[in-house]
Structure 1
Amino acid sequence: MKIATLAAMMTLSATAAFAEPECTAPAEGAAAPVWKSIQSFEEEGGVVRSFKINSGACYEIYGTLDGTNMEVFFDPTTGEELDRIDA
């Protein structure tokens, strides 16, 4: 029984650690241009490999910065960076 509890706790911890941010989908015509999010990452020296709108409605960039693989999330309404994960 203790092993099952420990396994359940580890699963919950891993899920929380990899949770992506949630965004509110912008109203029609109110979205920040995607290229501005990409541009802000590139201005830091990042290289964008791909881009998508994730299941939480956030802009998501996959790229590298200083030799590190990164996942960077942006708010689609404001274009502000929300989170950054070393991938």
Structure 2
Amino acid sequence: MKKIATLTALIALSATAALAEPSCTPAADGAAAPVWEAVKAFEEEGGVVKAFKINGGDCYEIYGSLDGTNMEVFFDPTTGEELERIDA
């Protein structure tokens, strides 16, 4: 029963986080900032990258931790600018 409750809570949390994700304008061919720049910026802050993807809103999304806190960090693919951080 405890596993089911935990799984249900994780699904609800994931759905909530997915609804809150920012949207980005897809970069024109060759105009996107390299993915590694977003990863490097997070790591230079002391963050540890666990996973990376391009979300449904075309933003770069890093899953990682910083100072013991798990988080999602979103970057604009055109400018490389950090858009939002969500503690996970």
TM range (shorter): 0.7 to 0.9
Give the ranges of 4+ consecutive aligned residues of structure 1 lying more than 6 Å apart after TM superposition.
Answer: none
Q: 5+ unaligned residues in a row in structure 2: which ranges?
A: 1-14
Q: What is the TM-score normalised by the length of structure 1?
A: 0.80
The alignment partner of 2:30 has SS state of coil
Q: Where does the alignment leave 5 or more consecutive residues of structure 1 unmatched? A: 1-13
What is the deviation of 1:27? 0.2
Which residue does 1:52 correspond to in 2? 53
C-alpha spacing 1:40/1:24, structure 2 compared with 1 (3 Å): same
Q: Distance in 2 between matches of 1:62 and 1:15?
A: 16
> Could you say what the CA RMSD is over the residues aligned between the two structures, in angstroms?
1.8
TM-score, normalized by length of structure 2?
A: 0.79
Larger radius of gyration: 1
Question: Percent identity between the aligned chains?
Answer: 78
